[in-house]
Amino acid sequence: MFGEFLKRLTAPDPAPLPDSDARLALTALLVRVARTDGNYDQSEKSRIDKIASARYGLSPFEATKLRSDAEVLEDEAPDTVRFTSAIKDAVPYEDRIGVIEALWQVVLADGVREAEEDALLRLVSKLLGINDRDSALARQRVENA
């Protein structure tokens, strides 16, 4: 379903993504993090919908549709390293900081920080070009919100 999209995203020198494609790729990354602990539950799905709705000005229906498409894309996406590196090349830095905050929202949605989720967040932050300090500050902003 998303073969052509993934081919463009993982090309050696990808062009910046149009807004709708960036939304989809970033939401798929949220889904990937939510699925990390093997328990992709309704609290995480609801959190992803809320993030998409707030971040992109979507209606609840549109946010659910975006998440549904992102779930399919995440299933088809390459390994996390290639997928995240491709997002880094195609998404501006400022948007990537916001993505780290959104990822922490998803990790914390079920009230439990699993070791697998922490490890994946560290990897994804690094691959997105976000240092540990900025990732920790993003987590603190989420925890204090």
Domain ranges within the chain, ordered by starting residue: 42-76, 83-145
How far apart CA 134 and CA 36 sit, in angstroms, is: 22
pLDDT of the residue at 90 = 72
Instruction: Write down the H helix ranges in 1-145.
Output: 3-9, 19-35, 42-56, 60-76, 80-90, 93-108, 115-127, 132-144
How far apart CA 19 and CA 125 sit, in angstroms, is: 21
Mean pLDDT per segment of 10 residues, for the chain of length 145 residues?
A: 72 72 87 89 93 94 96 86 77 82 88 85 91 90 88
* C-alpha distances in Å from residue 25, one per residue of 70, 131, 132, 139: 7, 21, 22, 21
pLDDT of the residue at 21 = 82
Q: What is the pTM of this model?
A: 0.83
